[in-house]
Structure 1
């Protein structure tokens, strides 16, 4: 299990695709998808006639409150929606683990963690639970991520990028959110998995060579 992690704009998708192609030269390998699909769903809603942009803005504000540790979780329905999304991710993760046990190498550009709620594919409900019912849903969600986080990846490739570079690559993203992701990515340990830090601002050929060398070293002892 090779996990490529980093802020939006760090180049996770490009690097993970090239790593997958490299591994497939010597052994069975598959791309691991652990995304929630929320971003594309929101953009699709935003394209609806008339109400789309307003609805998209409203849903974004709800998502922001769910993921902000300083904000109150905005009601039971958003909490249930977040839990449903996280259950889906848990099922996806179980499928990847089954493939891993079957001898297939998995390359994923995200990996579940429980150390930083609200960011980096951690629990969605990072906000404050205002009622016992919402608190119970939040606890259930965090238990899902705690369970997933116990499965240690073989190697984590952590891409480090500055905020200006990330925003230049993802100009439609919110700068404050990118800044939070850049700042917190180094807090992630992934159950003390082996982590290789790479500078995602160097020429890509240099970054890719370093990544493939780390992957080859990790897989040589598996």
Structure 2
């Protein structure tokens, strides 16, 4: 149990920002419960953690693990496990939603000090108990932090262990990482007591190596020789998860997995885990509404909000500006060419100049091919999103197939063709029934007025706008949680409500 008094540490400035309410409650609960805990990275990084730009690294005594996990949950955090191959039993991640700012907070909880390159933290620094006993509270409602000597020693050891020529993250961000280390050492330098630093070093290394480590920290912590780096790593060899050839193979495998994941995330978007899975398993979140209600904007916003912390894929179920699958792409390109020669569309269309005439034979044949291509595109995407959710992804969809209401977004199309053969109708209906039987976990209905739709979609038939707004109210998606949001409100309010609805189902 920590009993040290709150006191200034690490050169704390009076203008250091206060933690968001969620973190403040967590720190207070840890202290009230008497846990042995602290934030083990430099306090200079706290503003980024408070703003959601980086994670907050917490060290908690292993004996307090169960109580700490319960406190995290009670304070509103949700467990978010790392992806396969990147998890470690001594570490776990929790996500929290700061309602006031809309920021997603990431508390990275360590029960052991596990160090090494970002993709394979292989070593342990067995000093958790001593470091926690010497930790101290920052002023205000801020967290506990390490004593300056412990912080400097830990920072130096990390510098010797964390760089690997096989780690693309370290290579790409080498200059940025070095600059962070320099700033951290510069802040610690005037606070370090050399005697206390020597005592802390001798708890880990033999007297000779401890002396050289102390001299390096005081003289030039960023300029340690390769020989000293090898000695530091060798002194911790008994604390490795694996060594030798096995460590090299594991590191290489994780590097390849990371590179494929980065390429997949940017270009392929296949449902292969590249980072952290969703708390409690994958989810499908669908945004529905009439054209011009802001579905694409909301789906993009949620992907950007969750994407840095959880694996997210976005799927577009429409036939407009979004990306089609390989099944639909050639038909979509051909439809764009044909549409130039069609001046008037038959009854049932939503945009452009619409007549009261039923479809003619040529239009009917072309439209039947289009309807089949659209149905096959939706089937392909339905299979993709269900696999992605099963693998732990958050799937965000712009629209979702439905068979409840004719002549409404993303429903069957062949109803417009009176002469369409029954077998073709059955084939199409089977695909939309598949979506009916696998509804999204969350459906967010974005509600707007007819004037908003008319302004954003000037080519859309005014009478059809009123009809589709009424249809949106009746759409049920049996089995899904439905949240209705007034999308006419200011964007900030809509964004906050959408984030809250998504957070509630995570």
Q: TM-score, normalised by structure 1?
A: 0.81
Give the corresponding residue for 2:288. Answer: 5
SS at the partner of 1:121? coil
Superposition pairs of residues 1-222 of structure 1, within 5 angstroms: 1-37=284-320, 44-45=336-337, 53=340, 55-58=341-344, 60-61=345-346, 64=349, 74-75=360-361, 77=365, 78-127=367-416, 129-130=418-419, 134-219=421-506
CA shift for structure 1 position 211: 0.7
Contact 2:293 2:448 in 1 (8 A): yes
SS at the partner of 2:342? helix
The two structures, once aligned, show a CA RMSD in angstroms of 2.8
Contact 1:43 1:56 in 2 (8 A): no
Q: Deviations over 1:148-174 (max 9, x none)?
A: 221121111001111111111222322
Q: Deviations over 1:40-85 (max 9, x none)?
A: 7589438xxxxx64x1335x437629xxxx9866546232431232
CA shift for structure 1 position 123: 0.7
Contact 1:80 1:137 in 2 (8 A): no
CA shift for structure 1 position 213: 0.4
Q: Distance in 2 between matches of 1:120 and 1:97?
A: 21
CA shift for structure 1 position 20: 1.2
Q: Distance in 2 between matches of 1:155 and 1:104?
A: 14
Contact 1:3 1:155 in 2 (8 A): yes
CA shift for structure 1 position 21: 1.2
CA shift for structure 1 position 26: 2.6
Contact 1:73 1:79 in 2 (8 A): no
Q: TM-score, normalised by structure 2?
A: 0.38
Q: Distance in 2 between matches of 1:85 and 1:38?
A: 14
Contact 2:318 2:398 in 1 (8 A): no
Contact 2:292 2:456 in 1 (8 A): yes
Q: Summarize the Cα distance change of 1:192–1:28 in structure 2 as closer, same or farther, 3 Å threshold.
A: same
SS at the partner of 2:444? strand
Q: Distance in 1 between matches of 2:433 and 2:474?
A: 16
Q: Summarize the Cα distance change of 1:148–1:72 in structure 2 as closer, same or farther, 3 Å threshold.
A: farther
Q: Distance in 1 between matches of 2:360 and 2:346?
A: 10
Contact 2:347 2:358 in 1 (8 A): no
CA shift for structure 1 position 38: 8.7
CA shift for structure 1 position 198: 0.5
SS at the partner of 2:421? helix
Number of residue-to-residue matches in the alignment: 207
CA shift for structure 1 position 208: 0.8
Contact 1:36 1:89 in 2 (8 A): no
The worse-fitting range, judged by mean Cα deviation, of 78-87 and 117-126 is 78-87
Say which structure, 1 or 2, has more relative contact order (CA 8 Å, 6+ apart).
1
Unaligned runs of 5+ in 1: 47-51
Q: Summarize the Cα distance change of 1:172–1:127 in structure 2 as closer, same or farther, 3 Å threshold.
A: closer
